[in-house]
Amino acid sequence: MTKVSVLYPNGKGKKFDMDYYCGPHVKMVMELLGTALKGATVESGLAGGAPGSPAPFLAMGNMYFDSVEEFNKSFGPNAEKIMGDVPNFTNTEPIIQIGEVII
Amino acid sequence: MTKVSVLYPNGKGKKFDMDYYCGPHVKMVMELLGTALKGATVESGLAGGAPGSPAPFLAMGNMYFDSVEEFNKSFGPNAEKIMGDVPNFTNTEPIIQIGEVII
């Protein structure tokens, strides 16, 4: 299974609107990707590993696909629309990680 | 639910031994954390978001707990032992994110 993680780095002046993200954004992504999207999870950053340290990421979104090909086929044609929605909920630059689920 | 993600950044000369990680390391972590650990997942980095770009992270490990308190109580006393095992499978400096599962 392929997991695509979108990480939103924390930083001075960086903001993230979790209500918009979990509402209109997730809804749009699910509609555009359709059945290729096998599951999705969202986390809100609370803290870093060192006591009292801030979360390295304001939020993380994860999407699951059967394969990298399935991700490319479904996400590729919609990438511009999906990434174009990012400024509506954050001013931080997302980091995208494509990974293989091992465990 | 609290999710603790350990991200292993990619970079020049950075290595990650997935066999050791999924073997002795995961086994040790599970034994030390006991029933406080509600689940764990592991991903191997394949690629970044831009076509042909490398994965930002060599690997990501995720642990689930009922609460931040449960994580602190179980991980805290074992942190030195667990983090001391890191050089046995990687030469990259892990980033730790403590987050709240929203979706």
CA distance A54 to chain B (A): 9
pLDDT computed for residue A51 by the predictor: 87
| pTM (whole model) above 0.80 | yes
Over residues B46-72, the mean pLDDT reads: 96
How many interchain CB pairs under 8 A, A with B? 106
* Coil vs helix vs strand at B72: helix
Contact at 8 Å (CB) between B54 and B5? no
What percent of chain A stands above pLDDT 70?
100
Rounded CA gap, A42 and A18, in Å? Answer: 9
Rounded CA gap, B41 and B23, in Å? Answer: 13
Q: What is the ipTM of this complex?
A: 0.95
CA distance A18 to chain B (A): 9
Name the band, by pLDDT with cuts 50, 70 and 90, for residue B51. confident
- Ramachandran assignment for B100, one of left (phi > 0), alpha (psi -120 to 50 degrees), beta (any other): beta
Over residues B11-38, the mean pLDDT reads: 98
pLDDT computed for residue A98 by the predictor: 98
* Coil vs helix vs strand at A51: coil
Q: Do residue B43 and residue A68 have CB atoms under 8 angstroms apart? A: no
Contact at 8 Å (CB) between B62 and A102? no
Is residue A25 over pLDDT 90? yes
CA distance B50 to chain A (A): 8
Question: Does an H or E element contain B47, and which?
Answer: strand B39-48
Rounded CA gap, A37 and B6, in Å? Answer: 24
Q: Do residue B98 and residue A18 have CB atoms under 8 angstroms apart? A: no
